[in-house]
Amino acid sequence: MENLRQRKKQRTREALLRAALELFTTRGYERTTVDDVVAAVDVSQRTFFRYFANKEEAALAAVELAAAHFVDAVRARPPHEAPMEALRQAVVEGWDSLNDVIESVVPVELYLRMYQVIESTPVLLAAHLRRSMEIEETLARIIAEREGLDVATDPRPQLVVAVFSGVMRMTERQWSTGVDYGLDAMRSLTVSYLEQVGPALAGDWRTD
Amino acid sequence: MENLRQRKKQRTREALLRAALELFTTRGYERTTVDDVVAAVDVSQRTFFRYFANKEEAALAAVELAAAHFVDAVRARPPHEAPMEALRQAVVEGWDSLNDVIESVVPVELYLRMYQVIESTPVLLAAHLRRSMEIEETLARIIAEREGLDVATDPRPQLVVAVFSGVMRMTERQWSTGVDYGLDAMRSLTVSYLEQVGPALAGDWRTD
DNA sequence: GAGGCTAGTGACAGCCTCTGACAATTGACA
DNA sequence: TGTCAATTGTCAGAGGCTGTCACTAGCCTC
């Protein structure tokens, strides 16, 4: 940040990212070429690929930020909480600060629109799911450490995280395909689903 | 099958698929070009893309077959079983016939090796996860229908399937990264994990 | 069984993503 | 200000994928 050089780099990256998201969300991801993006910022194509390993990375950059924010929130949870409770609280509370975190890079509105593009673009969805998987691994390690367990031998941390993530992805999908919710609606959806997991697993629904 | 024409097509497809898997599993997915594959079968590159929408599709073709087989197994479950039990039984029993199903297209050994390649190749893993997601949707619809529910309004079918799939993916990963198991070991792993889901969710592990 | 019909293939040509190599530029710092 | 290092541009090229068009080989009818 101190250097003019660093500031310039920062600005170039942000300009590229913003231009990319803007184009992806209006014209569509597939119908936007990297050349389109660099033309909007007026840099060479080579420069784009110096900032982003590939086209996907630019498309997922904002979501990536949100995910990292959430992982941090889990790390900050008091150690006495039970695993599932810690995860749940992390989402609920992480949401409050999410807005600012995102806004520091791109307009939240752009972030939200991009979410829908990801969910409806096969290649991006695939990449997103893979990243989510990696995050699950991280979470499992965090949980295991909290509980003083070894991830390699005890499957419980991974199981809890897998269940939790399953619910989270359900929420994502529900949110992105439904009527346009804000961040708040998504939070309450998450909570609601998490409450239903136990009963849903517990067997026969037809006795209700 | 009746026509000579159809038989020829079938043979071309199988030859391409087998050559592709053979190359992917020995040389690696990324280090194998489509040109390599078509050279091994001696057809034009254009022909490859007439049989497979893209390179990924060829790589995932065998796994796709297995997945379809499993979905059928779920459909065949007697309607009185509880959702989770039906899913569990489908895996366990589907496994017995899986061998023959696969072998009718490619050697099982090749299928197993390909599984490891998928799990260790980011692009393929991403594509595989996306496909798995689509299968989850199908399963949720099946479960909902069994129970006479509407998937759109009742989240429970999706929840159960999400949990179940989470466990399955855990198993896949465990299997593919671990010591080389056979199909049998994978089955018992699945069963074992499914048994632990309930307890793992139930809260405080430190009271044990 | 000859000839028309059509499915399947090959041969280009071309777009787009991504990479390596090298030259040119621009900020940093003595 | 001059040297050094970091950033960018240019160029060339591989690899995945698509459209087009001509051609071949199986099919089907008369």
Three-state helix/strand/coil letters over A58-126: HHHHHHHHHHHHHHHHHHCCCCCCCHHHHHHHHHHHHHHHHHHHHHCCCCHHHHHHHHHHHHHCHHHHH
Given a cut of 80, whether residue A191 has pLDDT beyond it is yes
Q: What are phi and psi of B154, to 5 degrees?
A: -100, 115
Given a cut of 90, whether residue A159 has pLDDT beyond it is no
Mean pLDDT of A22-48: 97
**B142 dihedral zone (left: phi>0; alpha: psi -120 to 50; beta):** alpha
Q: pLDDT at position A79, please?
A: 94
Q: Do B170 and A162 touch (CB under 8 A)?
A: yes
Sign of CA dihedral B11, B114, A161, B199: positive
Q: Quote the tokens at residue A200.
A: 């849903």
Q: Do B198 and A196 touch (CB under 8 A)?
A: no
Query: What pTM was computed for the model?
Result: 0.93
- A171 Cβ neighbours under 8 A, 6+ residues apart: A186, A189, A190, A193
What's the rounded Cα separation, in Å, for the pair B121 and A119?
22
Mean pLDDT (chain A, rounded): 91
Given a cut of 60, whether residue A208 has pLDDT beyond it is no
Q: How many CB atoms lie within 10 A of CB B26?
A: 11
Q: How many CB atoms lie within 10 A of CB B183?
A: 15
Tens of pLDDT along A100-139? 999 999 999 999 899 999 999 999 999 999 999 999 999 9
Domain positions in chain A are 1-52, 55-207
User: Smallest Cα–Cα separation from B126: which of A173, A124, A166, A119?
Assistant: A124
What's the rounded Cα separation, in Å, for the pair B77 and B86?
6
Mean pLDDT of A19-48: 97
Contact A85, B205 (CB under 8 A): no
Mean pLDDT of B1-7: 81
| A49-58, A73-82, B60-69, B153-162: segment of lowest average pLDDT | B153-162
| A164-178, B71-85, B141-155: segment of lowest average pLDDT | A164-178
| A32-41, B70-79, B84-93, B198-207: segment of lowest average pLDDT | B198-207
Q: pLDDT at position A119, please?
A: 95
Matching residue, tokens 């990292």: A68
Burial degree of B43 (CB within 10 A; 0-12, 13-18, 19+): middle
Quick one: which residue's CA is nearest to D11's C1'? A46
| A59-63, A83-87, A179-183: segment of lowest average pLDDT | A179-183
CATH number for domain B55-203, candidates 2.60.40.420, 1.10.357.10, 3.20.10.10, 3.40.50.20: 1.10.357.10
Given a cut of 90, whether residue A167 has pLDDT beyond it is no
Q: Do B159 and A126 touch (CB under 8 A)?
A: no
Q: What are phi and psi of A145, to 5 degrees?
A: -65, -45
Distances A200 to A34, B141, B145 between C-alpha atoms, Å: 45, 15, 16
Q: Is A158 on the interface with B (CB under 8 A)?
A: yes
Q: Is A166 on the interface with B (CB under 8 A)?
A: yes
Contact B108, B102 (CB under 8 A): yes
Tens of pLDDT along B85-127? 999 999 988 888 988 999 988 999 899 899 999 999 999 999 9
Q: Quote the tokens at residue B154.
A: 């009742």
Q: Quote the tokens at residue A141.
A: 């390690």
Confidence of residue A179 (pLDDT cuts 50, 70, 90): low
- B86 Cβ neighbours under 8 A, 6+ residues apart: B74, B77, B143, B146
Mean pLDDT of A63-89: 95
Quick one: which residue's CA is nearest to C26's C1'? A5
Mean pLDDT (chain B, rounded): 90
Q: Give the CA-trace dihedral at B9, B15, B16, B22, to 10 degrees.
A: 160
Say yes or no: Cβ of B6 under 7 A from any atom of strand C: yes
- B190 Cβ neighbours under 8 A, 6+ residues apart: B88, B91, B92, B167, B168, B171
Confidence of residue A77 (pLDDT cuts 50, 70, 90): very high
Percentage, residues of chain B above pLDDT 90: 64
What's the rounded Cα separation, in Å, for the pair A53 and A51?
7
Q: Is B84 on the interface with A (CB under 8 A)?
A: yes
Q: Chain B: give the shortest CA distance to residue A82, in Å.
A: 6
Q: pLDDT at position B179, please?
A: 66
Contact B166, B98 (CB under 8 A): no
Rounded to the nearest 10 degrees, the angle between the axes of helix A156-177 and helix A183-201 is: 130
Given a cut of 80, whether residue A10 has pLDDT beyond it is yes
What are the residue ranges of helices labelled H in B30-153? 34-41, 45-51, 55-75, 83-103, 108-120, 122-147
Given a cut of 80, whether residue A184 has pLDDT beyond it is no
Q: pLDDT at position A181, please?
A: 65
| A129, HSE (Cβ side, Cα atoms, 13 Å) | 26
Amino acid A61 CA to nucleotide D5 C1' distance, rounded Å: 29
Confidence of residue A188 (pLDDT cuts 50, 70, 90): confident
Percentage, residues of chain B above pLDDT 70: 95
Mean pLDDT of B2-24: 93
> Which has the higher per-residue pLDDT, B86 or A206?
B86
Mean pLDDT of A5-18: 95
Report the CATH architecture of A55-207: Orthogonal Bundle (1.10)
- What nucleotide is nearest B45 when CA is compared to C1'? C10
Q: Do B196 and A155 touch (CB under 8 A)?
A: yes
Matching residue, tokens 């509980």: A147
Please identify residues in chain B, positions 32-51, with a C-beta within 7 angstroms of any atom of strand D. 32-35, 45-46, 49
Say yes or no: Cβ of B11 under 7 A from any atom of strand C: no
Given a cut of 90, whether residue A35 has pLDDT beyond it is yes
Tens of pLDDT along B143-175? 999 999 999 888 889 988 988 998 889 888 888
Q: What are phi and psi of A61, to 5 degrees?
A: -55, -45
Q: pLDDT at position A180, please?
A: 63
Chain A residues near residue B129 by CB distance under 8 angstroms: 126, 129-130, 133
Given A130, A159, A201, which is nearest B84 (Cβ)? A201
Q: pLDDT at position A197, please?
A: 79
Mean pLDDT of B61-83: 95
Q: pLDDT at position B204, please?
A: 62
Note the Cα A148 to chain centre separation in Å. Answer: 27
Q: pLDDT at position B140, please?
A: 96
| A40-49, A154-163, B105-114, B171-180: segment of lowest average pLDDT | B171-180
Q: The domain B1-52: what is its CATH number? A: 1.10.10.60
